[in-house]
Copies of this chain bind each other. A is one copy, B any other.
C-alpha cells in the first residue's frame, strides 16, 4: 500500500500549497491512502468546520490532530467526523476517536494519533496507549500508521523503537521542522522523527517572524499570524507490504526547493 503522510498544515498558506500539490503531484492517483496533520489548519491554531470541509474536498483520507486540537471551539465538533482522529492518549471520555480503521483501494489501514509528554502537557502514556490499541487494531489490519505528535527527540526515537515490528510507520509531527533521519528500523517499521509542516517556509515555523522575535525580546505577548510567503508541502511517501512491513520511505517536498526567503540547499 502506498501511503502519503503530510506534515502539519499551517493556515491558508498551508491549505493552498496542499491544493497545488494534490494537483501537480497527482496525489490521488499515486497513493492509496493520504493522511495529513491538521492541528494548525485554521489560522495556525486548531481546526474549524469550514476548514475541515475545505480539506475534505481534496479527498484526504484521514486528518490527525495534536496539542492544538481544541484551540478553536469548533474543534470538539470537528472530531465527530469519522475521517478526523485526535490523540489517543487524551483522557477517556474526550470527544472523538484516537484511531481509525479505514478502507482504501489497497485494503484496510489503521491510523493512530499519539501525543508526546516531554515538554508537553501530561496526557496518558503514549507507549502504553499504543499497547492497548494494538491488540484491537491488529485483528482488523496489519497496516498501522502512527502520527506521533511530540517535541523531544528522545521520546520520539524511543517510541519508534518501541513500536518497531508492530507499527508499519511511526512518523513524527509537531516541531514543524523536517528531520533528516528517515529510516527503516530492524523490524521493518518506517521511521522519521519529524515530517515537517505544510505552510510558509519564510517565517518561524509557519508564522510571521517579527512578532515571534519581539516576543523573545520583550516577553510581551504578541498576536502570531500565519506567514504566507514561499509555502512548501513537507511529506513522506511510504510503501508498506501486506504483512504491514515497510518496504520504503521517501521524503517529498513540494515544491522541491522552496524559494524560501533565501535558498534551500542540499536537503533533497
Given A122-B122, A180-B178, A266-B250, residue A158 in contact with residue B209 (CB < 8 A): yes
Asked if A29 CB lies within 8 Å of chain B CBs, one says no
Q: Is the interface of A mostly helix, strand, loop or mixed?
A: loop
User: Once bound together, how far apart are the Cα atoms of A34 and B118, in whole Å?
Assistant: 33
- Among residues 158 to 195 in chain A, which have CB atoms less than 8 Å away from a CB atom of chain B? 158-159, 161-162, 175-186, 188, 193-194
User: Once bound together, how far apart are the Cα atoms of A255 and B195, in whole Å?
Assistant: 23
CB-contact partner of A217 in B128, B213, B221, B251, under 8 A: B128
Asked if A43 CB lies within 8 Å of chain B CBs, one says no
Asked if A22 CB lies within 8 Å of chain B CBs, one says no
Given A122-B117, A158-B209, residue A218 in contact with residue B94 (CB < 8 A): yes
Could you tell me the distance in whole angstroms from the C-beta of A215 to the nearest C-beta in chain B? Answer: 8
CB-CB nearest in chain B for A202: B186
Could you tell me the distance in whole angstroms from the C-beta of A164 to the nearest C-beta in chain B? Answer: 8
- Indicate if the CB atoms of A263 and B180 lie closer than 8 Å: no
Residues of B within 8 A of A193 (CB): 177
Kindly name the residue among A181, A212, A268 whose own CB sees the greatest number of chain B CB atoms within 10 A.
A181
